[in-house]
Every structure is written in C-alpha cells, then in structure tokens.
Amino acid sequence: MSTALTEGKQIGYEGFELGNKFPCEPQALKTLLAQYDLALVSGWYSGRLAERSVEEEITSVAPHLDLLARNGATVMVYGEVANWIYQRPRFFSDAQWSQYAERLNRFAEYTLSHGVRVAYHHHMGTYAETPNWSFLDAVINGAFTVPGRGRGLSGHRRVPRAA
C-alpha cells in the first residue's frame, strides 16, 4: 500500500479511488491518506437495487457511505450486481426498468444528501446490456467508447458501422 501511495503521489496523483487494501474505518483511512497528502476520490459499491428496496439498500450502504463522506469523497461508483454471478440478469418490461430507475434515483438522492454523488457503472453481462448483443455489437452500439472528438458526456462517440 505504501508503495502505491508513494509512487502515485510522485507521478502527480492527487487522490485515489477506494480499494480493498485501504482501511475500512473512517479515521484510519483519513490518517493514512494524510500521510501522503492524498484525497479519497471515490469508492466502488456493489448494489442490489434490482432485487432490494431503497430502504434495504440504504441500510446496506450506510457504513460505506459514511467512510466516503467522512473522508471527503464526493462520488460513489454504483455497480448493480444482483443476480450477476449466476445468470445474465434481465428486465423484461418497461415497467421493470421504470421501477428500477425510480429506486436508483431515490438511492442517489439519499447519497447526495450526504454529499456523495452516484456514478452508475454499467458492467456488460448485467441489466444494462441488451440480451442479444455480442461484445462487438456492444462496441458498435456505444456501450463502450473509444477516444474521439464526439460531444457526448464522455467526450467520445459511437463507433460507426462498417459499410
């Protein structure tokens, strides 16, 4: 850990995303990062809003949200992991998507009330992937981006279809 933090600081990093090697206790994490004059930028959260209520998710995220907020992180990277390991999860109707989006919005409003914004990470093979896409189809349809000069949120554009 000390090598990563030392070398990160030496090459110009101002902060790190939380990883599993970092302390899970807020003050211990704050002390560690302060030794290297580094900030906590964000932290991954494996969410299950596809199968849990917002209230259950809020209870589950509480220690992690506290760790992020008390260490100045303003972003939580949310990855939906419900049913991800054992099957390729799907929503089959617009109503299911709407219910999920409402739960995700309510969850994000809660984290934001603690100063932490949610960034949704759309893993392939999870709910965010269309069932019949191959990897190439996903690239062509913009699920992944490649460097370019597009005007989208990421500054990249979709890969054009070959003629």
Which tens digit of pLDDT belongs to each residue from 121-163? Answer: 876 666 666 666 666 666 676 665 544 444 333 444 444 455 4
What does the domain layout of the chain look like in residue ranges?
A: 2-129
Q: Is-contact 17 42, C-beta < 8 A?
A: yes
Q: Which pLDDT score, from 0 to 100, does residue 118 have? A: 96
In this prediction, residue 76 carries a pLDDT of 96
User: CATH second-level architecture of 2-129?
Assistant: Alpha-Beta Barrel (3.20)
* Mean pLDDT along residues 27-52: 96
Concatenated DSSP letters of 87-116: S-----SHHHHHHHHHHHHHHHHHHHTTT-
pLDDT tens column, 53-99: 999 999 999 999 999 999 999 999 998 888 876 666 677 788 988 99
The reported pLDDT for the residue numbered 113 is: 97
Nearest to 69 by CA among 10, 26, 35: 26
The encoded tokens of residue 123 equal 């893993």
Are the CB atoms for 39 and 72 separated by under 8 Å?
yes
